[in-house]
Amino acid sequence: MKSWKIVVILLLCLTLAGAVACMPFRGGGDEEESTSQLVEVVRGNLTVSVSGAGNIAVANEENLTFESSSGKVNKIWVEVGDEVSEGQLLAVLAPLDTEALELALTRAQVALATAEYNLDKTKIYTDEEIEEKEDEIDEAEDYVDFAEDMRAQAQREGDAVESVYWRREVYQAQADLEALEDELVAMLAPSDEDEIKLMEMEVDAAKQAVDEAQRQLDIETITAPWDGVVADVGAKVGDTFYSSAAAGTVIVRLIDLTSMELNVDLDEIDIPGIGREQRAIVEIDALPDVQLEGRVISVSPVPTVEAGVVLYNVKIDFDVPQDSNLKVGMSATADIIINERSSVLLVPDRAIKQDRQGNPIVLVMVDEQIEARPVVIGISDGFQTEIVGGLSEGETVVLEMGAGVQPSPEPAGRPGVIPFMPGPHPGPTPER
């Protein structure tokens, strides 16, 4: 039993001796071994961004349809992949029954003329309109007198041809005069305002009926609203549409390939720093040499939840350079720029520690001794941190230290040395 205890004690001693031998720093005057790294404080540019992935989509597209309720496709002028210009003719729809439509148009025109005539008979006229009508009557009376004089002169001269001509003119002039006098009587007659409103409504309805009948009789065309590329053609020559089928069928799908967009989903943690008009760098998976400049055009106010993860859709707009071979549907990644700094002091994130009060400090190598120095930090990209104050360019900071090393006590004449208290990384908060 005693020998067993001796064996255990010997094993413990060997274990402790091995642990001491493996420590990165040793005391007792021996030379210290350390895994610490020394890094120089440098100036550089720092960018804080949020990344998201998605697929390329067109920013502008339109489904073009016929407005008529029925018709037959007379011509399709384009195919899938064709480039078209604004105003270019794309498709034609002809009416099915021309004779019936012409008859409907004639009836609508007759109804309109009747409604306008009835309105004229019931209209309330102004004094100016009545005076104009009286002037027309005076002119008509003068012409009747002139025509009778000319007929009498022709009879005196024995000119049979002239006599017949002016006899007809007298007859027509008297008829025109009687019509004008009847119109004046109607204008002077009392009118019912309610009846006039009803007549005006009938005229408006008759005009709409004429327009609709004319529209159905006309050949309908589809033209390109802007420059673009035909992505799909949904009909062929000879296709016939009845009722509302024509209005619901996409005849030509037009897309604009000069302006595309990227939709990415960002985690709820990243979305507070995202806003409209922020700059974004777009990279295409299939085109590694292509890097596009974009901007955020919208941030969805409503999230989607996938497997318990809350995501917000962000839409990024960018222009497509010529001959880029960029295609709709390609996978892409966007780096949305949250903040940028130029020519600022930088240290690795691992260099940032904190003192007992939780304030940021770094370990600086000064005269071959390590001192803890308070610093003011700015933004961080997760790898490097901006130093706003407390360090100078060219100074050396300590990234890592062995567990047995402490900063040297404050030497005389060099204030500001803070006793080092190991603690967790404070994690500088990026400015957003």
Give me the pLDDT at residue 161, please.
Answer: 87
- pLDDT attached to residue 404: 42
At 21 the pLDDT is: 35
Q: Give the tens place of pLDDT for each residue, 74-102.
A: 899 999 999 999 999 999 888 876 666 67
- Cβ distance 379 to 410 under 8 Å? no
DSSP 3-state assignment of 158? Answer: coil
| Residue 118, Cβ density class (10 Å: 0-12 exposed, 13-18 middle, ≥19 buried) | middle
Average pLDDT over residues 134-157: 93
> What region, left, alpha or beta, does residue 390 occupy, with left being phi > 0 and alpha being psi -120 to 50 degrees?
left
Give CA–CA dist 29/43, Å, rounded.
38
Q: Among residues 375, 367, 409, 405, which one has the least CA distance to residue 392?
A: 375
The confidence band for 123, taking pLDDT boundaries of 50, 70 and 90, is low
Helix (H, G, I), strand (E, B) or coil at 386: strand
Is the pLDDT higher at 426 or at 157?
Answer: 157
Collapsed DSSP state (helix, strand, coil) of residue 243? coil
Is the pLDDT assigned to residue 419 strictly greater than 60? Answer: no
> 14-54 pLDDT, tens per residue?
333 333 333 343 334 444 455 778 999 999 999 999 999 99
- pLDDT at residue 8 greater than cutoff 80: no
CA distances from 7 to 16, 19, 408 (A): 14, 19, 42
Q: Report the alpha-carbon distance of residue 249 to residue 168 in Å, rounded.
A: 62
pLDDT digits (tens, 9 = 90+) for 259-288: 889 999 999 999 998 999 999 999 999 999
How big is the CA angle at 370 (ends 367 and 372), to the nearest 5 degrees? 125
Dihedral over Cα of 8, 14, 15, 20: its sign: positive
SS (H, E, C) 179-206: HHHHHHHHHHCCCCHHHHHHHHHHHHHH
DSSP conformation letters of 265-333: EEETTTGGG--TT-EEEEEETTEEEEEEEEEEEEE-SS-EEETTEEEEEEEEEEEPPTT----TT-EEE
More reliable by pLDDT, 409 or 334: 334
Q: At what angle do helices 193-217 and 98-122 cross, to 10 degrees?
A: 160
pLDDT tens per residue across span 376-404: 999 998 899 999 999 999 999 998 754 44
DSSP state of 431: P
- The mean pLDDT of 340-347, rounded to a whole number, is 94
Please tell me the distance from the alpha carbon of residue 229 to that of residue 231, in angstroms, as a whole number.
6
Token pair recorded at residue 226: 């802007």
CATH annotation of 61-95+219-255? 2.40.50.100
What CATH superfamily is the domain 50-59+256-341?
Efflux pump adaptor protein, beta barrel domain (2.40.30.170)
Helices (H), 230-271: 245-248
Give the largest Cα separation in the chain, rounded.
Answer: 173
Percentage of the chain modeled with pLDDT above 90: 49
Question: In whole angstroms, what is the distance from residue 275 CA to residue 297 CA?
Answer: 8
Q: What is the mean pLDDT of residues 163-174?
A: 92
56 DSSP β-pair partners: 262
Q: What is the pLDDT of residue 71?
A: 81
pLDDT at 197: 79
Beta strand pairing call for 369-374 and 38-40 = unpaired
Give the full edge-to-edge strand order of the sheet including 89-94.
Answer: 220-223, 89-94, 71-76, 240-241
Least confident of 8-12, 212-216, 335-339: 8-12
Asked whether 115 and 199 are in contact (CB, 8 A), the reply is yes
Q: How confident is the model over 200-258, as pLDDT tens digits?
A: 888 888 888 888 777 666 678 899 999 999 999 999 998 888 765 555 688 999 999 88
- Residue-level pLDDT at 171: 93
CA distance 348 to 364: 13
pLDDT value at position 411?
42
Q: What is the DSSP letter of 418?
A: B
Q: Which residue has the higher pLDDT, 431 or 283?
A: 283
Residue 330 confidence (pLDDT) above 90:
yes
Split at pLDDT 50, 70, 90, the class of 2 is very low
**Mean pLDDT over the full length of the chain:** 81
Residue 373 identity: R
Domain ranges of the chain: 50-59+256-341, 61-95+219-255
User: How many angstroms separate the CA atoms of 282 and 334, rounded?
Assistant: 4
Instruction: Give mean pLDDT, residues 409-417.
Output: 44
